[in-house]
Structures are given as structure tokens and as C-alpha cells.
Structure 1
């Protein structure tokens, strides 16, 4: 894939500042704060959230920012693991020298490939995936306090990833989690600044874009796959959120 076609999907920024423009609100971000040679603090920006203000300090660091569809192109299990990584804790610290060295080396390789005039999209995706898989392993081995509402956010996102093609009503997710729809929306608004319905619609748009770009099935088939009762209702929904029709989007991509 040509660089011009993926440079709006991933960015790597040295010395991230609070006025640095990121890809979009619907992007995911990892900020690596280098405290010392033997210590590394990893900060996460889940979908529709912002980094904590403590990220913007004088310490040396690197931001890796990428759009959600970069992980949606892979299998569902990987996507769920990534959602877990980003929504369990806002940050965690790595103090084991061999782990810090490994993460530093992966970041270095990512930066070198990203800044290469003939950078490979597949190489970037592969390096990013390896980096994320190591972070998942390190995070799972840590013991950090997790608040109840954050757990519920993760429960919702995990459940949505596996069922959004069939279930698009807030009540279903609230019942599965064991709280009211009103309470679920309160928690999601507090943590993600969006309601359950808005998050589900956002996920539908991401999936629609992915399917349209791949071109393996028709627009009508995509409409029914996403739970719409007609091609026209899906087209109206897509144009409202994206600004162009599914047909025009497919032609452009």
C-alpha cells in the first residue's frame, strides 16, 4: 500500500505536546514515557477519550497514534485483546529491564520504518501488532487496581465487539452487564463521552467502511449484515455519519 494511502491511519510523534494534532477522536493512542533506562510508563488513550494531563510533562516520550480500523483488519480475538489493553487501566509502569529494552527496540523499529520514504504498511502493522501483544502480556502480569465503572466499560466494549452485528439496542447490553440502560449510558458518557447507541453506530460505520473497501460483498449485503432492513436505510445512515454514500465511498477506496 502506498504511503499516501495509510498516512492517515497511523502517526508516530516524538515529544508529544497537548497541542499536537492527533488523527481523530476515534483513534487510539499509546504514549511511552521514558523515565529512565530501567523504567517505562505506558499511557493509553482509548476510543473517544483524551490522555490524562500528566502525559504532558518534560519527560522524553513517544506517541503512537492509530485509527481503530488498523486493528479491525485482523481477527476478532486480537481486537478484543486490544480493547482490553486500552480500557483496563489508563496507564501502567514497566520496571523490568528486559521488558523495557524490548519495548524500546520495537518503538525504534517502528520509528525507523515510519520515517522511511519507502515504508511498508504491512511492516508497520506487523511491528505495531508485536508491540501491542507484548504490552498485553506485560499488563496481564501486573496488579493494578481497577474501578468498577471501568470494568463495565470494558464489559460493554468486549460484548459489543462480538455481538454488534446482531444486537444494536442499549437494553441488551445493559441486561447482560446487569445494570439499567440509563446507568450504562451514564457510565459510558462519563468514561467515553458517548452513549451506547453512539458507540454501536460508530462500530457499524467502521465495519461498513472495512467491508466496502474490501469489496467482497455488495452494498445491499453489507446493509443486511449490519442489521438494516434495506439498502436505502443503510445508505442514509452511512451518508449521515460519513458525508458520502456507500457507493461513493467504495469508488474512492
Structure 2
């Protein structure tokens, strides 16, 4: 059987693959993280492009989808500087996205994944990947006309090391000071690194990680809000509920009900449009 040159995977599938160590013989060297704001407000949507990055080193998000592909899938005439100039690892993140467009792409990629070895499917994914690469280039050139896309630098390495530590320790440690001390840098340096690389402050990243874990537990378990609060290291349930509403504009129970009603609503919307 011919080896696939691309796949579309959820964060949980990435997690499973990493645990099972199934990546070694796969040719993927371009990875797009497609993240949609789960509340549907759209202000947190982003795409992250990872080039020449080992998948097990990515701080994967269980709420994201990942398009992983072989660089050779692209057309030879694809003239994109970042693909040509460097074989070093690089990670580039862009915001200000059209949520409906990304949602459409995810749906189409999921459909195409059923035919991932077909010629037509390859052509579709090639076009999507090239559009996404061009979008990344245009976004960066528009916002930073004087800045070239450089490989991962000290700030990038520091920022992604911070992300890994937060994901491992956020239940116990929620202060920026703790992580800065463990990384051997000042809070100011850590803040510069995360804002330069991830466009987010260290405190915001800790809060975002906490919120996303809470969302996952609310959606995929039947644990009570009190149990989830305790698991996340927040002793007072009221404090957790207040924090969650501040981050999402709805309460934990409202979020759980919304996510469990969503498949029915999407199905109904699809039927109504036919």
C-alpha cells in the first residue's frame, strides 16, 4: 500500500500517535495547526505553521486540528521563500483569520482524509497547503515588512520550552514567576519570548492552557464542576466558575450544555440547508 503523504488529525490523535511512537517512518515535515475558538467568537482563531519540526516536540492542543504533510507534495514551482531558504526548524503563528474559511477547510480536509491516497485528494490538499503557506507569508509581510522569516531563535526555543512546562505543571503551578525561575530567565525576558513567538503573554498562556483543559474535561467527561475545579488545582469551585466565565463569557455548565447540543444543531443546520 502506498504511504500517505498527508493526514488531518486532531490533537488527541497526535497525542495517541506520540505515545505509540508511530511517527518515525512517516515523511511529514510541514505541519499546520488549525485552531478555532471553541466558543465561536473567533477572536482566538489562529494557524501555526511548523516547518522541519519533530511532531513529538510540538506542544499540541487537544482542541486543534493538524494538517501534516510531506513537503514533496507541493508543486516544484511553489516559490515560497521560507521553504527554500531554510532547513532549520521554524514555527510561525498568525491570527486575524476568517473562522468560516478555516471551518470549511477542516470539514473538507476531514472528508478528503477518507481518500488520502487518491490523486484528487492529493491535489485538493496541495492547493490548501499552498494557500495556507501564502496566507502565512502575506500576513507576516503585511505586519512586519522589514522582518525576514528567521529559523527558531533563542526566544522561540524559550517560548516553546515554557509551553511544554506549563502543559506539564499548570495544575500545580500557575504563576509566571515559578516558570521564569525554572527556565533560568527573568519574567520580563520570558514575556518578550512568548509575545515575540506566540503573540501572547506568559500569564495569558497559563490561563489559556487552564481554560482549554477545563473545556476538554467539561466536554468529554461527566465530572462535576467541583471535581474539575479540584483536578485543575483550584480549590474553590466558585473561583473556578468565575475564572471560566471571565475567559469564555459563559459558565462551565453552559459550556458543557452548548458542546453537547452542538452536533444536533449542526446536523439540523445541514438538513435545513439541503
TM-score by length of 2: 0.46
TM-score by length of 1: 0.50
